[in-house]
């Protein structure tokens, strides 16, 4: 075989090899394109994309709807677009969802809010990467009075210690925040007890055992005796229910004393929640019995501990 023939055969072989490799790469390229499509479809919306939710939320949300973002880690992006009026601190720091009749769920990546499982879907719309569902709670339990919302000097008084020393109300206290790993924020409007800054009663937000925000009344027990929060002129329902817990960074050490939250109605004991480290954001419900539907009742919440140190207790309560 001459040199020219050998070159032609080699060239033909090379072309055949290239053609075979090209054919073999077709499914690989297809798989790559499919993978890229899946990646793009499962990719979270960009910060700029969240601006798209403003108009649908304004159109779809009805009065008293709870706005829920799924997954919950995306909540800050939604809040920066739709603002505090749509995502209020009371809703963000909700104790649970039992009081809400309806909700608007903003979903990305096909996620669903676990706390809305079992709610009935009323409507659904999709806008780009965002899905909006209005849902109805079949087991809603309306609230007659929220004791956190009702904290004010007009109907509440606070005393502390064995001597029942009064804790005066102020609306211009110095706002104090603990910073990273520190205590929750103490607001300007609060009942300030004489023992010091930590001994106050005001509305704040703690992080629970899952690091979700919980809006509640800060109620650090005193060194001796009880911290008593007294509400006047309360129209009662069938129960007093709520949750109690401690700032999780403190509670997770599992080394502190128990904290007791006692509830009294018209001077008579109704029940107790005893909170131990590790209990987390714990629910309680106390039937009112003969006191059910009483009008203008006096309700007292008494907080105590055998060792008051580092007892960052906070609770919320309602009557329903």
The CA distance from 236 to 266, in Å, is 11
Phi first, then psi: give them for residue 24, nearest 5 degrees: -65, -30
The contacts of residue 167 (CB under 8 Å, 6+ apart) are 158, 159, 160, 191, 192, 193, 194, 199, 200, 201
pTM: 0.83
Alpha helices in 154-302 (DSSP H): 248-251
Q: Residue 1: which pLDDT band, with cuts at 50, 70 and 90?
A: low
Pairwise pLDDT comparison (55 vs 182), residue with the higher score? 55
Residue 41 above 90 pLDDT? no
Cα 320 to Cα 118, 146, 288, 314: the distances in Å are 22, 9, 10, 20
Question: What is the β-pairing status of strands 213-218 and 203-207?
Answer: antiparallel
The CA distance from 28 to 31, in Å, is 5
Per DSSP, the residues of 5-53 read HHHHHHHHHHHHHHHHHHHHHHHHHHHHHHHHHHHHHHSPPPTGGGGGG
Residue 219 above 90 pLDDT? yes
pLDDT at residue 38 in the model: 42
pLDDT at residue 31 in the model: 46
Least confident of 34-38, 136-140, 177-181: 34-38
The CA distance from 290 to 226, in Å, is 26
Q: Residue 44: which pLDDT band, with cuts at 50, 70 and 90?
A: confident
Residue 26 above 80 pLDDT? no
pLDDT at residue 6 in the model: 54
Phi first, then psi: give them for residue 188, nearest 5 degrees: -70, -35
Which tokens hold the place of 27? Answer: 């499914």
What is the set of domains in the chain, with CATH numbers? 48-136 (no CATH), 145-319 (2.60.120)
Give the mean model confidence (pLDDT) for residues 62-75.
94
pLDDT at residue 34 in the model: 42
Cα 223 to Cα 22, 161, 169, 264: the distances in Å are 80, 7, 21, 21
Give the mean model confidence (pLDDT) for residues 228-235.
98
Q: What is the pLDDT of residues 13-25, one digit of tens each?
A: 656 554 555 455 5
Give the mean model confidence (pLDDT) for residues 134-143.
97
Do the beta carbons of residue 100 and residue 137 sit within 8 Å? yes
Q: Average pLDDT, whole number, for the chain?
A: 89
Give the mean model confidence (pLDDT) for residues 20-32.
51
Q: Enter the DSSP assignment of 250.
A: H
Give the mean model confidence (pLDDT) for residues 44-48.
88
Q: What is the pLDDT of residues 241-285, one digit of tens each?
A: 999 999 888 888 898 999 999 999 999 999 999 999 999 999 999
Give the mean model confidence (pLDDT) for residues 196-208.
95
The CA distance from 103 to 121, in Å, is 10
Q: What angle do CA 282, 288, 291 make, to 5 degrees?
A: 150
Residue 175 above 60 pLDDT? yes
The CA distance from 49 to 72, in Å, is 17
pLDDT at residue 42 in the model: 63
- Which of 2-6, 175-179, 248-252, 259-263: highest mean pLDDT? 259-263
Q: Tell how many helices (H) and how many strands (E) occur in the chain.
A: 5, 19
Residue 188 above 60 pLDDT? yes
């Amino acid at each position: 075989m001459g040199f020219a023939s050998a070159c032609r055969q080699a060239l033909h072989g090379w072309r055949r090899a290239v053609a075979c490799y090209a054919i073999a790469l077709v499914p690989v390229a297809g798989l790559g394109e499919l993978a890229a499509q899946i990646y793009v479809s499962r990719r979270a919306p960009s910060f700029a994309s969240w601006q798209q939710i403003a108009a649908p939320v304004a159109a779809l949300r009805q009065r008293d709807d709870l706005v829920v973002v799924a997954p919950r880690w995306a909540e800050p992006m939604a809040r920066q677009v739709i603002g505090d009026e749509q995502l209020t601190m009371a809703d963000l720091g909700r104790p649970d969802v039992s009081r809400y009749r309806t909700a608007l769920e903003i979903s990305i990546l096909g996620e669903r809010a676990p706390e809305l499982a079992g709610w009935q879907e009323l409507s659904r719309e999709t806008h780009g990467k965002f899905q909006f569902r209005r849902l109805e709670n079949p087991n809603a339990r309306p609230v007659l009075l929220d004791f956190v919302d009702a904290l004010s000097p007009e109907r509440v008084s606070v005393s502390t210690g064995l001597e029942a020393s009064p804790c005066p109300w102020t609306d211009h206290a110095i706002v104090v925040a603990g910073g990273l790993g520190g205590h929750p924020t103490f607001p300007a409007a609060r009942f300030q007890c004489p023992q010091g800054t930590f001994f106050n009663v005001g509305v704040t937000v703690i992080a629970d055992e899952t690091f979700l925000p919980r809006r509640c009344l800060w109620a650090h027990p005193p060194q001796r005796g009880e911290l008593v929060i007294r509400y006047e002129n309360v129209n009662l329902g069938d129960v007093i229910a709520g949750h109690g817990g401690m700032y999780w960074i403190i509670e997770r050490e599992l080394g502190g004393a128990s904290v007791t939250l006692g509830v009294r109605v018209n001077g008579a004991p109704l029940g107790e929640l005893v909170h131990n480290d590790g209990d987390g954001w714990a629910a309680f419900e106390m039937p009112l019995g003969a006191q059910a539907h009483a009008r203008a009742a006096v309700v007292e919440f008494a907080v105590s501990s055998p060792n008051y140190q580092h007892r960052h207790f906070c609770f919320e309560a309602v009557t329903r």
